[in-house]
A and B are shown apart, each in its own frame.
Chain A
Amino acid sequence: MAILVIAEHDNQSLKAATKNAVTAAAKIGGEIHVLVAGSGCANAAAEAAKLAGVAKVKVADAAHYADQTAENIAALVVANAAGYSHIVAPATTNGKNFAPRVAALLDVAQISDIVGVESADTFVRPIYAGNALATVQSADTVKVITVRTTGFEAVAEGGSAAVEAIAAGPDLGKSKLVSRELTKSERPELTAAKIIVSGGRGLGNGENYKTLLEPLADKLGAALGASRAAVDAGFVPNDYQVGQTGKIVAPQLYIAIGISGAIQHLAGMKDSKVIVAINKDPEAPIFQVADYGLVADLFEVVPQLAAAV
């Protein structure tokens, strides 16, 4: 039994989510291979080769993999699927984009967003915004899986896998990247941050979000997040969104400021180690999951907090 993990990377370096996916693969058990499909991605492949437990890294280097378009990546994975019992990808926007295509082309189910491995064919995954955990068993010969990164620790380094070049597939030319506007930030990535400062509707507007939360995040070296309400109200871009349909995070410390705590938001952060809630409404549902609750006017206490840490 061998497992193929599809690496998440930006051609230069491997993304942290890949490390959680490798840990999930190790729990399934079997020889682990990592596929790095990209353009000029030798460095990312070298990083993948260092992950503990990885036996082989396969690299498909071609210009048409540079932008990770789902059609080309899925076709490549399917062309290389023979001999693998499991195909595993992190449940990032990229993994969620191509993995179901792989499953459909192989005529198998996909098991989305797993948070636990019971056995080689049985997995645990959240449903209904994490209000229930389903244990599902797959009867398919190949299991196509996406891994919720917060469900598994990142694998350590210490491996020295062989790196092998494999033939690229044809460029299907189905879709073309026109532009990419990535949020530039000196702050840690939301899904990899140890501390997250997150704001909600209670902040009132985007200007307040910036002036109140940024100094605090700067002091803590934290990433910035937001509730859907804050995104809907236009305070911040959508890639800040934490929740059922946004990012799923589990930092050491999550500070929820002016967030009421709708179940869809809790779904995205309730596995954080320590949760702090600051809200002026003592009845806000966020206090039901917070380790430390401060019932106060955020406009008063957030600057105090930024000064005190």
Chain B
Amino acid sequence: MKVLVPVKRVVDYNVKVRVKSDGTGVDIANVKMSMNPFDEIAVEEAVRLKEAGIASEVIVVSAGVAGCQETLRTAMAIGADRGILIESDADLQPLAVAKLIKAVADKEQPQVVIFGKQAIDDDSNQTGQMFAALQGWPQATFASKVVIADGKATVTREVDGGLETLEMALPAVVTTDLRLNEPRYATLPNIMKAKKKPLETVKPEDLGVDVAPRLKTLKVAEPAKRQAGVKVADVADLVSKLKNEAKVI
């Protein structure tokens, strides 16, 4: 059974991005780029399925600029077997990415595709669900536990009120939530090994996918800044201010 994991290259979790002064976007020149944290969890889960003897091969795929090769190498250092880069300099939006991944899935025929639930740059939370819809496959989003057995996936999901568990036949889509696992650190020998693993590059045109963006960003602005308030001396002072000044209790 093959497992496919789409991974996205994003501005690192620890970088506080700055809006460009001309309002055209955020400044990502010379900032540290990393794998989207939810995708790292997805790669880890797939690698664990392989280590447990459930998956036979873990394939990682990334759509974007040439630099995504690094993201794929990171995934292979965690334990993925090979990588596919869909190289494009275009603004790739979730629907386009879902179509690109579909083209790859049609060729590779994975039984499980594990996505991160959302990318921490555009915060869209769409691609996994869109891919599942295009394939007509079941989906289990926001997973905190995944069990694959007997041609079925049993997935516990993080929902607003607590947890729910769904059961579905394979092939299926899973999107990861934070508590699914804790991704391992890639060791130096594995980083070296990852450099020798196969990495294929294709173009959206090769896959016959139209990636023209559907949404046009007119402007990117800084949100209104919250003014820092005052320091209170003690609990009595705080309670008095909440009661008399803010009038919220």
By a beta-carbon cutoff of 8 Å, the part of chain A in contact with chain B is 69-71, 74, 92-94, 96-105, 107-113, 122, 126-140, 174-183, 191, 195, 220, 228, 231-232, 237-239, 244-245, 247, 252-253, 263-264, 270, 273-276, 282, 287-296, 301, 304-305, 308-309
The minimal Cβ–Cβ distance linking A105 to chain B, given in whole angstroms, is 5
User: How far is B98's CA from A309's CA once the two chains are assembled, in angstroms?
Assistant: 52
From A15, which residue of chain B is reached at the shortest CB distance? B160
**A101, B178: Cβ atoms closer than 8 Å:** no
Report yes or no: A245 in contact with B139, Cβ–Cβ below 8 A: no
A-side contacts of B103, CB under 8 Å = none
B interface with A by C-beta (< 8 Å): 11, 13, 16-17, 19, 26, 38, 93-95, 98, 117-118, 120-134, 137-142, 144, 154, 157-169, 172, 177-179, 214-223, 226, 228-232, 234-236, 238-239, 241-242, 246, 248-249
A289 touches B214 (CB 8 A): no
If A101-B132, A138-B215, A253-B242 touch, does A110 touch B126 (CB 8 Å cutoff)?
yes
A253→B246 contact, CB < 8 A:
yes
Which of these, A98, A122, A174, A294, contacts B138 with CB under 8 Å? A174
Once the chains are docked, how many angstroms separate the CA of A72 from the CA of B51? 34
- A128 near B17 with CB under 8 A, answer yes
Q: How far is the CA of A220 from the CA of B242 in the complex (A)?
A: 12
In whole angstroms, what is the CA distance A231 to B94 when docked? 29
Is B162 a contact of A294 with CB atoms below 8 Å? no
CA A305 – CA B240 in complex, angstroms?
11
- Is the pair A96, B235 in contact by a Cβ cutoff of 8 Å? no
Known: A133-B223, A174-B138, A292-B229. A140 touches B160 (CB 8 A): no
> Taking the nearest CB of chain A, how far is it from the CB of B87, in angstroms?
22
Contact (Cβ within 8 A) A128 B166: no
19 contacting pairs across A/B (C-beta < 8 A): A70-B139, A96-B129, A96-B141, A103-B95, A103-B130, A109-B94, A132-B222, A135-B218, A177-B164, A177-B165, A180-B162, A180-B164, A237-B163, A239-B158, A245-B117, A253-B248, A282-B231, A301-B235, A304-B235
- Docked pose: A244 CA to B242 CA in angstroms: 27
**Identity of the chain B residue whose Cβ is nearest the Cβ of A247 in the assembled complex:** B160
Determine whether the beta carbon of A292 is less than 8 Å from that of B232.
yes
**Please, which residue of chain B has its CB at the minimum distance from the CB of A277?**
B229
Chain B residues with Cβ below 8 Å from A107 are 95
Q: Smallest Cβ distance from A53 to chain B, in angstroms? A: 25
Assess the B165–A179 pair: CB atoms within 8 A.
Answer: yes
Most buried by A among B94, B127, B235: B235
- CB-based contact A104/B95 at 8 Å: yes
Contact A289 B226, beta carbon cutoff 8 Å: yes
CA distance A97 to B157 in the complex (A): 11
